[in-house]
Amino acid sequence: MVDRLKRALRRGVEGFKAFSPGQKAVIVIAVLALAVGGYFFATWASKPTMAALFSNLSPTDASAIVEDLGAANVQYELADGGATIMVPRDQVYELRIQMAGQGLPAGEDTGYSLLDKQGVTTSEFMQHVSYQRALEGELASTIKSIDGVEAATVHLALPQKDVFADDEQRPTASVLVKTAAGKDLTDSQVQAIVNLVSSSVEGMDAKDVTLAGADGAVLAKGGQTTTAAGGDASTKQTVAFENKMQDSIRSMLEQVVGKGKAAVTVTADLDYDNTETKTQSYNSDANTAPLAESQKTETFSGNGTAVGGVLGPDNIQVPSGQNGTNSYENSTTTRNNAVNSVTETRQSAPGTIRRMGIAVLLDSSVAASANTAQIQTLVQSAAALDATRGDSLAVTALPFDTTAATEAAKELAASQAAERQAQLMSTIKSGAAIGLIALLMLIAAFVSRRNRKRQQRSTLTPSERLQLEEMQAALERERTRELEGANAPQALEAGPTTRLGPDKETRQRDIAAMVETQPEEVAQLLRSWLGDRRESARR
């Protein structure tokens, strides 16, 4: 076995020595590349798959866990700025159990667990503070469970209850949230956090909660999200309405004047007030019989009596009335008719249009072929403009400046052409590199194979080399004798493998030329002759 290895190694060394310098360089580079690639592959294959052991760790817990992992010679990696610890996947559960046995991660004492540490001698003030801290911790933990919230901090202002206080103060809360990377809280999530906090504290209203983000932006204030409190929601709705109207009108006009030949601007004044109107009307039919009717009549007739009197001032007698005939009549009719009563309550939703103005600008190059009056009528009908509401419409034709658009189109076309050219050149370079490598490999393989065959054919045994030398010497002596004018045929001293027959001169020249130009074939021929001689000797 050892001899075989030595012979194989010796043949490999001899074969390598037979290569040209270029072939040797290619082989060395290939071996080095294979070695480096094998090293990196082995490193990658031997590296374990990592999984998260714990995440969102505090610096204290992360330090303690890393120290324990280092003491146990466990491979680990840190991620997320040290807040996440990665360990081999097959050791995750075992390490979690071990860390839990050591009380890690310890976390922070938040929530109602703070109340467990109170003693019997705790003052009322400390009890109040501990309760407030516990409530803040519980609310923060609850808020962090919302999707997209990475961290949360809650601060409560709980006023002391005083029996003799006239004005009772309301509790307030401020919440600071940090969202995950690339995520923002939606309006519904913001409102959910506000309602969650306000409902968890006795006597707190939603307007008493202020919510802010980690970037300092106020997300909710006064019980409303900033979009509603600051008027941004109405602004967004107005802008969305204007954009929708602009797109609709522009799309219609572009069907007439062409794409990019019309510009539309819509300005809308929307009413976001909630109004409620109640109307009550009464109606009765004259042909309908009354529900109830009553009539009362009083009649009186007769003579009057003389009117007596008393003395007036200064004993002057007051004159009495004259005798006469008196009459009196009074008639009263009461009729209760059936009356129809109608009560109508009308509540207008916010977002109604108070007033709207539309400006249409057409390119003068195409406006000549379009009827401005017809376009104005189309736009007025499409936008449902109302003159009584104060809506306005203006249609104007002016030349458009298309320089920027033309330059942008040229730059875009040039950029696309350059990108296509770069992709084509990259593809050509990659293909050329691959083809060159393949060609070099084929050439190296061909040359290596040819050299191996040449070496195998040219490698002579000592006896074959001796026969070849004797044959060459005999040919030289024969040529010398012929030049000296020797007439008698001379026999070669080369031994039995050299036989000269008729046409000796021609045969000698052919053999000499073959020895000089084709030593491999001559060596192969000598091998066959030696083989024949050995077989003859054995027989």
19-61 residue pLDDT tens: 777 777 777 888 888 788 778 777 777 777 888 888 878 788 8
Cα separation values, 114 from 111, 128, 130, 200, Å: 6, 12, 7, 18
What distance in Å separates the CA atoms of residue 516 and residue 519, rounded to the nearest whole number? 6
Q: How confident is the model at residue 483 (pLDDT cuts 50, 70, 90)?
A: low
pLDDT given at position 266: 92
Query: How much is the pLDDT for 228?
Result: 44
pLDDT at position 113 is: 62
Q: What is the crossing angle of helices 21-46 and 403-458, to 10°?
A: 110
Spatial distance between the Cα atoms of 196 and 209, rounded to a whole number of angstroms: 10
Mean pLDDT of 516-521: 65
The C-alpha atoms of residue 372 and residue 515 are separated, in whole angstroms, by: 105
Query: Which of 174, 181, 154 lies closest to 219, judged by CA?
Result: 174
pLDDT bin (cut points 50, 70, 90) of residue 100 is confident
Q: How far apart are the C-alpha atoms of 539 and 537, rounded to whole Å?
A: 5
Residue 455: what residue type?
Answer: Q
Q: Report pLDDT for 490.
A: 45
CA distance 69 to 87: 9
Separation of alpha carbons 25 and 80, rounded Å: 46
Residue 212's CB is within 10 A of a number of other CB atoms, namely 17
Stretch 195-203: mean pLDDT = 89
Per the CB < 8 A criterion, the answer to whether 177 and 144 are in contact is no
| Percent of the chain at pLDDT exceeding 90 | 9
Question: Model confidence at 539, in pLDDT bands (50, 70, 90)?
Answer: low
Q: Is 25 exposed, middle or buried (0-12, 13-18, 19+ CB in 10 A)?
A: exposed
Classify strands 275-284 and 352-363 as parallel, antiparallel or unpaired: unpaired
Dihedral of CA atoms 130, 135, 136, 138 in degrees, nearest 10, equals: 120
Looking at residue 469, its pLDDT comes to 65
Q: Which of 236, 237, 264 is nearest to 248 (CA)?
A: 264
Q: What are phi and psi of 512, to 5 degrees?
A: -65, -45
CA distance 145 to 147: 6
Cα 196 to Cα 185: distance, rounded to the nearest angstrom: 15
Q: Which residue has the higher pLDDT, 45 or 411?
A: 411
Q: In this predicted structure, what is the pLDDT of residue 197? A: 92
> Considering all CA atoms of the chain, what is the largest pairwise distance in Å, rounded to the nearest integer?
221
Q: Is the pLDDT of residue 131 over 70?
A: yes
Across all residues in the chain, what is the average pLDDT?
A: 77
Q: Check pLDDT > 80 for residue 326.
A: no
- Which of 138-152, 221-235, 336-350, 372-386 is least confident? 221-235
Q: How far is CA 123 from CA 126, 127, 240, 282, 403, in A?
A: 5, 6, 58, 71, 79
pLDDT: which is higher, 399 or 511: 399
Q: Report the pLDDT averaged over residues 161-187.
A: 82
Average pLDDT of span 325-342: 76
Alpha-carbon span 506 to 513, nearest angstrom:
11
pTM to 2 decimal places: 0.39
Q: Is the pLDDT of residue 500 over 50?
A: no
For residue 50, the one-letter residue type is: M
pLDDT at 10 over 60: yes
Amino acid at 435: G
Look at residue 434 and tell me whether its pLDDT is greater than 80.
yes
Report which of residues 486 and 516 the model is more confident about. 516
Q: Which two tokens stand for residue 203?
A: 């006597």
Q: What does 172-213 look like in DSSP terms, one character per residue?
A: EEEEEEEEPTT----HHHHHHHHHHHHHHSTT--GGGEEEEE
Q: Which residue has the tokens 């009196």?
A: 328
pLDDT classification of 305: cutoffs 50, 70, 90? low
Omega into 105 within 30° of 0, i.e. cis? yes
Is the backbone of residue 315 left (phi > 0), alpha (psi -120 to 50) or beta?
Answer: left
Higher pLDDT, 173 or 83: 173
Cα dist. 168→24, 72, 200 in Å?
95, 59, 19
Domain 235-274+346-400, CATH: 3.30.300.20
Q: Quick check: 48 and 90 in contact, CB under 8 A?
A: yes
Condensed to tens digits (0 to 9), the pLDDT of residues 250-284 reads 999 888 888 888 899 999 988 877 777 888 777 77
Give start and end residues of each alpha helix (H) in 384-402. Answer: none
Higher pLDDT, 399 or 302: 399
Q: Say how far apart CA 107 and CA 55 lie, in whole Å.
A: 12
Instruction: Report the CATH architecture of 123-160+168-226.
Output: 2-Layer Sandwich (3.30)
pLDDT above 90 (res 358): yes
Residue 8 has pLDDT above 60, yes or no: yes
Instruction: Please say if the pLDDT value at position 248 is more than 80.
Output: yes
Is residue 249 within 8 Å of residue 382, measured between CB atoms? yes
Q: How confident is the model over 473-495, as a mean pLDDT? A: 57
For the cut 90, the answer to whether the pLDDT of residue 105 exceeds it is no
pLDDT band at 499 (very low <50, low <70, confident <90, very high): very low
Mean pLDDT, residues 433-455: 74
Distance of CA 160 to the CA centre of its chain: 48
